[in-house]
């Protein structure tokens, strides 16, 4: 799909608007308060526990967004995390980044507030 086609795709326009107007966006199945799959639950749980403010986009509520986000990022699975407009990854990548401290570094360099102690507790519990 060409960039011109992307600009005329309403789902892509909505996705672009969401990731541009919010520092952290999680495209997920369900919502941050009621995830509807284990992978979405894990990533939302990490972000919630770390006190990160994020917009949740329930891909189950809109089939165009559900497929659109996969095309937009060229990533086949949900959830998908964006920080400051950049695609970070899905559940496995976010889990690895959390445990290695890379997610902390990303939030720090991006100016995203998070609870460092909570991040350390996650690593202690999984170390």
Which residues fall in the annotated binding site for [2Fe-2S] cluster? 37
The alpha helices in 1-127, defined as continuous H runs, are 3-7, 10-21, 38-49, 63-73, 91-100, 102-110, 116-126
- Give the Cα-Cα-Cα angle 109, 114, 117 (nearest 5 degrees): 115
Binding annotation: 37
């Amino acid at each position: 799909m060409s960039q011109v086609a992307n600009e005329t795709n309403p789902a892509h326009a909505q996705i672009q608007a969401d990731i541009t107007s919010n520092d952290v966006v999680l495209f997920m199945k369900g919502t941050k308060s009621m995830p509807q799959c284990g992978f979405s639950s894990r990533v939302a749980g990490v972000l919630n526990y770390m006190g990160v403010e994020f917009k949740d986009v329930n891909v189950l509520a809109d089939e165009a967004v559900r497929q659109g986000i996969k095309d937009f990022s060229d990533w086949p699975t949900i959830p998908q995390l964006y920080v400051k407009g950049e695609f970070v990854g899905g559940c496995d990548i976010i889990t690895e980044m959390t445990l290695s401290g890379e997610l902390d570094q990303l939030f720090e360099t991006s100016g995203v507030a998070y609870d460092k102690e909570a991040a350390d507790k996650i690593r202690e519990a999984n170390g």
